[in-house]
Amino acid sequence: MKNDELDENSITIRVVIADDEYKVCQLICQLIDWKALDMKLVGTASNGIEALKIIEEEKPDLALTDIRMPGYDGMELLRRARKINPDMEFIVISGYSHFEYAQAAIQCGVCDYILKPINRNLLNTTLQKVRQRCLEKRSLRIQVKQKAADVARLRKTFWNDMVLERSPKKIEEINQKYHYHFENGIFQSFMILADVQGDSGIDQIYENHVFELMPLKTLVYLQNYVQPFCLELETFCQNGKIYGIINYLPEKKEKIREEFKNFIHSLRLDLSAFEYLRFHLSTSNPFDTIEDLLKAYHQCERAMGQRLLTEEDSFFEKVPADAEYDEDTILKNFGQKIQQGLDLQRKDQIKDAVLELESVAVERGLNGCQIFVLAQKAYHLFLLTSIVFSDLHFKDREKLENEFNSKAFLCGSEKQLFLFLTESCQKDLEDACQWIDQEKIKPISQAKQYIREHYSEALNLDHVSSKVGFSPSYFSTMFRKETGKTFLEYLTDVRIEEAKKLLRESRITIELICNMVGSNDSKRFSKTFKRETGISPKEYRNLYS
């Protein structure tokens, strides 16, 4: 475990000892009953500079330190250490002549002091008290963190409840239920999305998790640029997209717009190493009431769809109007062509059906959001058609549709989206056809497995073909087609391989090995062995054993 990721739930107290006298350090180490106190020594130092370095690296809970040391004295060490960890406890070790320093240290927040020469009982009693203080502080930190985490989770649930239309409508009720601080003013929604440009492979990018950085970077830049001018700001990650809501005073409207531009510009620069990605921001219209946040969410989605119709990174503020078109008729025609392609198992007909769908979408002047929804519905119809009108076996259709929807938003243009639709449908068809082929050869795989498990027995073609439910003649034909060998040739190969293994790894007689691999005629098997390997079993043993 890294030192900056220490387990807050651990009851072990981490301790550092600092004293410029080596013998004093060693004495303290010997006097402390580490096991009984459940404490762990993480380092010793002979001066304040070394001690501070240990504190920075090891994050101890407690320091036992001398008052006077080279580098930083005990007081300076305390001040610097408290900047690293305000909850860190200190016990001062002081000589009688330096008692006034110990008193000053107590005033600075040192929890206790021990005079030299050190008394074992006093030292362990003092450590026991300090240990309890450390555990109480740790428990309080855990409670504070847990409460903050609970509030953060509760705030995140607001977005989902709002989208599902089950959240309260009034500001006061929302603030109380979800721990927000909304006020009367302007309410707006925004959306951030990255897509793939050019011919970069969507599947490869998706699997490489390059989008894991985006939520972290987004939050940083929103806090730097937009949040200072907001009454409230919260972000939500969903299926690789980042949504957000902001609440601000009307007079900040232009400033918010300006800072959104600065935000997306900085985000693009920071993530410019990902040359194949484009980063987009869309915002809804500003609304005067919080009840309109759901409408704002839908506006962001529609505005973001326009990225499919532009080649540049964009900041989308305008919500496009929807084109009028007969969606049912278009999808019905698509479904009929898809049905023909599935029935005939023709990938080219699948491609033609998608190309025609794309052409219709462009001719009708659909906006980006309409195009994206049309592609989603077309893939859903493709999967549905495979159930109703085809004997093809598709794998989990729900999983396929979820995968398509989660990857489709990475498409950076209308052409790329329809190409992805084509490739997805064709791949599903290809996988289904492969499954049919595998079903045909599955009995052959079962036969091969049976031969490998029963090679030592008296096997013949009739016996093995009956085990997999084929007639001997059909089995013989299929077996040779799939393996490139006759049944007898394959059985002989298996027996020879097993014989080789026994010759290499044991001192069993050659005659017994022949019996063990299913041959009752050792002379005949030896001839077969030599014919297949070029050497006799005896020569093979001498060569490889």
**CATH code of residue 77:** 3.40.50.2300
Do 221 and 301 lie in one domain? The reply is yes
Do 110 and 185 lie in one domain? The reply is no
Do 292 and 352 lie in one domain? The reply is no
List % helix, strand, coil for the chain (3-state, nearest 5): 65, 10, 25
Instruction: Identify the domain boundary among 379, 403, 433.
Output: 433
When computed from its CA atoms, the radius of gyration of the chain, rounded to whole angstroms, is 37
What percentage of the chain has pLDDT greater than the value 70? 90
Each residue's pLDDT tens digit, 16-56: 999 988 888 899 899 988 988 999 999 999 999 999 999 99
Give the residue from 268, 277, 190, 293 showing the smallest Cα distance to 236: 190
Q: What is the DSSP string of 115-178?
A: ESSPPHHHHHHHHHHHHHHHHHHHHHHHHHHHHHHHHHHHHHHHHHHHHTT-S-SSHHHHHHHH
Total domain count, the chain: 4
Strand order in the sheet with 62-66: 39-45, 13-18, 62-66, 89-94, 112-115
Residues 6+ apart with CB under 8 A from 275: none
Do 266 and 295 lie in one domain? The reply is yes
In-domain check, residue 151 = no
* 517 in Cβ contact with 456 (< 8 Å): yes
Q: In the 8-state DSSP scheme, what is residue 86?
A: T
Do 97 and 233 lie in one domain? The reply is no
In-domain check, residue 27 = yes
pLDDT(434) > 60: yes
Q: Which of 34-48, 359-373, 428-442, 495-509 has the lowest mean pLDDT?
A: 428-442
In-domain check, residue 357 = yes
Q: Which pLDDT belongs to residue 1? A: 42
Contacts for 258-264 with beta carbons within 8 Å, 24 or more apart? 259/225, 259/226, 259/229, 260/190, 260/225, 260/226, 260/315, 261/315, 262/225, 263/221, 263/222, 263/224, 263/225, 263/226, 264/192, 264/313, 264/315
Average confidence (pLDDT) over 234-238: 89
Q: Domain holding 226: CATH number?
A: 3.30.70.270
Q: Which of 9-13, 282-286, 327-331 has the lowest mean pLDDT?
A: 9-13
Instruction: Identify the domain boundary among 433, 466, 496.
Output: 433
What does residue 326 show for φ and ψ, rounded to 5 degrees?
A: -90, 90
Average confidence (pLDDT) over 375-393: 83
Do 248 and 134 lie in one domain? The reply is no
Q: Which pLDDT belongs to residue 105? A: 65
Q: Which pLDDT belongs to residue 355? A: 96
A 10 A CB-CB count for 61 gives 25
What percentage of the chain has pLDDT greater than the value 90? 46
Distance CA 123, CA 419 (A): 75
**Any bridge partners for residue 186, and if so which?**
248
pLDDT(192) > 90: yes
In-domain check, residue 152 = no
Do 227 and 281 lie in one domain? The reply is yes
Instruction: Identify the domain boundary among 316, 335, 368.
Output: 316
Stated length of the chain: 545
Q: In the 8-state DSSP scheme, what is residue 223?
A: I
Distance CA 280, CA 433 (A): 39
Q: Which pLDDT belongs to residue 5? A: 46
Q: Which of 103-112, 371-380, 395-404 has the lowest mean pLDDT?
A: 103-112
Residue 3: band (very low, low, confident or very high) from pLDDT cuts 50, 70, 90 = very low
Do 333 and 206 lie in one domain? The reply is no
Residue 4: band (very low, low, confident or very high) from pLDDT cuts 50, 70, 90 = very low
Crossing angle (nearest 10°) for helices 347-363 and 368-388: 150
Which residue range forms the structural domain that includes residue 249?
171-316
Average confidence (pLDDT) over 100-121: 74
* 287 in Cβ contact with 293 (< 8 Å): yes
Q: Domain holding 531: CATH number?
A: 1.10.10.60
What is the token pair recorded at 273?
């190493």
Residue 390: band (very low, low, confident or very high) from pLDDT cuts 50, 70, 90 = low
In-domain check, residue 312 = yes
Residue 2: band (very low, low, confident or very high) from pLDDT cuts 50, 70, 90 = very low
Average confidence (pLDDT) over 88-112: 71
Do 176 and 247 lie in one domain? The reply is yes
pLDDT(107) > 80: no
CB contact burial 365-400 (16+ within 10 A = b; e otherwise): ebbbbbbbebbbebbebbbebbeeebebebeeeeeb
**Range from 102-106, 111-115, 453-457 that averages highest in pLDDT:** 453-457
pLDDT(175) > 90: yes
Residue 145: band (very low, low, confident or very high) from pLDDT cuts 50, 70, 90 = confident
Do 306 and 359 lie in one domain? The reply is no
Do 256 and 361 lie in one domain? The reply is no
In-domain check, residue 237 = yes
Q: Which pLDDT belongs to residue 290? A: 94
In-domain check, residue 417 = yes
In-domain check, residue 55 = yes
Do 308 and 332 lie in one domain? The reply is no
Rounded to the nearest integer, the mean pLDDT of the chain is: 87
Q: How far apart are the first and last CA of the chain?
A: 48
